[in-house]
Structure 1
Amino acid sequence: MTKSIRMAVLATDAEGSPDLYLTFVEAADLRYNEGQHYDMALAHPEDGGYRAPVIAFDQNDGAADVLRHAAAFMEGDTDEV
């Protein structure tokens, strides 16, 4: 069965600044379990002018939880680091 997976890719934009590229990838359970969805997500940022270094994470990775916390921290909603 194929499922849509929310992915975030930390990359460098065309100006050389760090940025997050958000995308969806479609992956069968086997490809997901083997981690191939990361490779699929890493193929997309180049289309938008992003470049290495790049690292991808999905909605279930620990980094996604940290991203949620980071958003609250950056907005001033929490001082907890």
Structure 2
Amino acid sequence: MFNHIRMVVLATNAVGSPDLFLTSVEATGTQYQHGCHYDMALLRARDEGYTPPMIAFDQYDAAARMLRRAAAFIEGDAAEV
């Protein structure tokens, strides 16, 4: 059985700027436990022209929670850090 996992890759785009690549992957429980979903997301980002440095995180990682807080902070909807 495959699980649908939302992923974000922080990477460098084609013009050399930091960017976020959003994707989703299908992974078995075993693949997820072994971290293969990160590799899948990184490969997709590379296929779309993104370059290292790159780091991937999924919807359950602490970085995903912080991304929501960062968006509120950037928009001015959250208290200063």
TM-score tier, shorter chain, comes to over 0.9
Partner of 1:25: 25
How far apart in 1 are the matches of 2:43 and 2:76? 33
Identity of aligned residues (%): 62
How much does 1:80 deviate? 3.7
Partner of 1:14: 14
RMSD: 0.8
Q: Deviations over 1:20-43 (max 9, x none)?
A: 000001000000011110011100
Partner of 1:45: 45
How far apart in 1 are the matches of 2:24 and 2:72? 23
How far apart in 2 are the matches of 1:43 and 1:5? 15
Q: Which stretches in structure 1 are left out of the alignment for 5+ residues?
A: none
Secondary structure, counterpart of 1:38 in structure 2: helix
Secondary structure, counterpart of 1:46 in structure 2: helix
In the alignment, is residue 77 of structure 1 matched against residue 77 of structure 2? yes
TM-score (norm 2): 0.96
TM-score (norm 1): 0.96
